[in-house]
Amino acid sequence: MSDGDIVAITSIAAGGDGVGRLGDGRAVFVPRTAPGERVRLRDGVKLLKSFARGELAEVVAPAGGGARVTPPCPHYVQDRCGGCQLQHVAYDAQLEAKRAIVGDALRRIAKLDVPDPEIVEAVEEWRYRAKITLAVKGRGARGRTVGFHPYDRPGTVFPLIDCHIADFRLMALWRELKPRLDLLPAKLARLTLRLDREGRRHVIAESAGEPWAARDAAALRAALPDPDRVICWWQPVEGAARVMAGPATGFPATAFEQVNSEMGAVTRHWAVEQLGDVRGAIVWDLYGGIGDTAVELAERGAQVVSVDANEKAIDWAQRRATPSPVRFIAAKAEDVLPTLPDPGAVVVNPPRGGLHWTVTLRLTGQPVPRIAYVSCDPATLARDLHRLSVNYRLTAVRAFDLFPQTAHVETVAVLEAA
């Protein structure tokens, strides 16, 4: 293969790379390219058995319709930040790419004869994230770097100045924290900043070795603006997080919650609507987290059983006000299904790995009239839909752009027992 190959980029892959074809026919994945472009590759294309990986040298011919734009974030270009994959792509083109990613997975993996789904665009393209997790390289306040990984050098970390998809309040917190990194644990492994739904700010220091000294956590909190609304947590590398400074609000800062709360609510509302009239029906809410879906189902008159493996999430959910009683269970869904009453409908919102095989077997062995499957990964969604297709049919599917500027996409698939 000669140096400086020119390829036409035809689509965006699930990870955000542009996809083209080399002269020998194999697919080549090229980061930071846009559909419709012709690009020259850098020397040293990495040839693998059935595909290749290349790096962009130059855009030889731009895409029509202005698919490429100038990324506003300096980190994206100068530091090759891996947190976003699509800042160089115009937003309309991002939406089309994500529709295609979902549609391709449904056709190729789920073997469904369906078009690319409709996609609901984000309310905000920027400053939507209520949580960021920073990587740490090196030890000690002066010897370590806190920031993100370059996409092509995941073993390194560049110092973060500003993340353009993070909420302004998180970035204000980060600016105040940076001069005080010496107050964080010596063996800091990761640093997470998070807003909760009451606007409080959470600082979660993950480290090995000795716990974060309460004296240092209190000093850090006191040095921040509006310290009464800051909670400092220590998260052992293996173990449960605990509050080191600030009020123990009960909010599970280490539990899963959508980082884009506004779009998460839009997605959840559509999924629940697709179940139809659930008044008086038993509805399972599997992988239910802190109970947002359970509350919405209860508001519609359902008898809800909500299951999640995170005990802190369930503990907080049990304290929530609900219009009717909700049974919250702290357990792995696959472990408790035999003990649950037979449902009239089910909502599943599994992690990226998709449904546990035991859950799939229960849903296929004893079909439920209707399932709403909320997914953060089109490939595992498609795999599970293929497994469920033995006695379910897909009746609706819609994508939701919860993560603008990245290649991630949320999808809701609605199934009915065949």
The CATH number of whichever domain residue 33 belongs to comes to 2.40.50.140
Query: What residue numbers bound the domain in which 53 lies?
Result: 1-68
Q: What is the pLDDT of residue 176?
A: 97
Q: What is the pLDDT of residue 250?
A: 79
Model pLDDT for residues 33-66, shown as the tens digit of each residue: 999 999 999 999 999 999 999 999 999 999 988 8
pLDDT at 142 over 80: no
Whether 33 contacts 86, CB under 8 Å: no
- Lowest mean per-residue pLDDT among 140-149, 322-331, 334-343: 140-149
Residue type, 374: V
Are 119 and 139 found together in one domain?
A: no
Are 223 and 290 found together in one domain?
A: no
d(Cα 304, Cα 346) in Å, to the nearest integer? 10
Q: For residue 397, tell me if it sits in a domain.
A: yes
Q: For residue 83, tell me if it sits in a domain.
A: no
Tally of structural domains, the chain: 3
CB atoms near residue 26 (< 10 Å): 14
Residue of 382, 374, 349, 351 whose CA lies nearest to 102: 382
Model pLDDT for residues 250-270, shown as the tens digit of each residue: 788 888 889 999 999 999 999
* 21, 53, 68 - which closes a domain: 68
Are 228 and 354 found together in one domain?
A: no
- Strand-pairing partners, residue 6, are 40
d(Cα 330, Cα 344) in Å, to the nearest integer? 22
Coil vs helix vs strand at 412: strand
Q: What is the pLDDT of residue 2?
A: 47
Q: For residue 320, tell me if it sits in a domain.
A: yes
Q: How confident is the model at residue 3 (pLDDT cuts 50, 70, 90)?
A: low
Q: For residue 45, tell me if it sits in a domain.
A: yes
Whether 185 contacts 207, CB under 8 Å: yes
Residue of 348, 343, 362 whose CA lies nearest to 281: 343
Lateral strand order in the sheet of 46-47: 11-12, 18-21, 27-30, 51-53, 46-47
Are 346 and 401 found together in one domain?
A: yes
Are 115 and 198 found together in one domain?
A: no
93-to-83, 127, 264 alpha-carbon distances in Å:
19, 20, 22
Q: Is 25 left (phi over 0), alpha (psi -120 to 50) or beta?
A: left
Q: For residue 406, tell me if it sits in a domain.
A: yes
Model pLDDT for residues 263-312, shown as the tens digit of each residue: 999 999 999 999 999 999 999 999 999 999 999 999 999 999 999 999 99
* CB neighbour list of residue 93: distance below 8 Å, 6 or more residues apart: 34, 35, 63, 65, 67
Write the burial class of residue 179 (CB in 10 Å: 0-12 exposed, 13-18 middle, 19+ buried): exposed
Are 114 and 140 found together in one domain?
A: no
Are 213 and 301 found together in one domain?
A: no
CATH number at residue 302: 3.40.50.150
d(Cα 148, Cα 248) in Å, to the nearest integer? 29
Model pLDDT for residues 159-209, shown as the tens digit of each residue: 999 999 999 999 999 999 999 999 999 999 999 999 998 899 999 999 998
d(Cα 125, Cα 354) in Å, to the nearest integer? 27
What average pLDDT does the segment 313-326 reach? 93
Are 395 and 279 found together in one domain?
A: yes
pLDDT at 141 over 70: no
* CB neighbour list of residue 85: distance below 8 Å, 6 or more residues apart: 15, 16, 17, 31, 151, 405, 406, 407
Question: Beta strand 56-61 with 118-120: parallel, antiparallel or unpaired?
Answer: unpaired
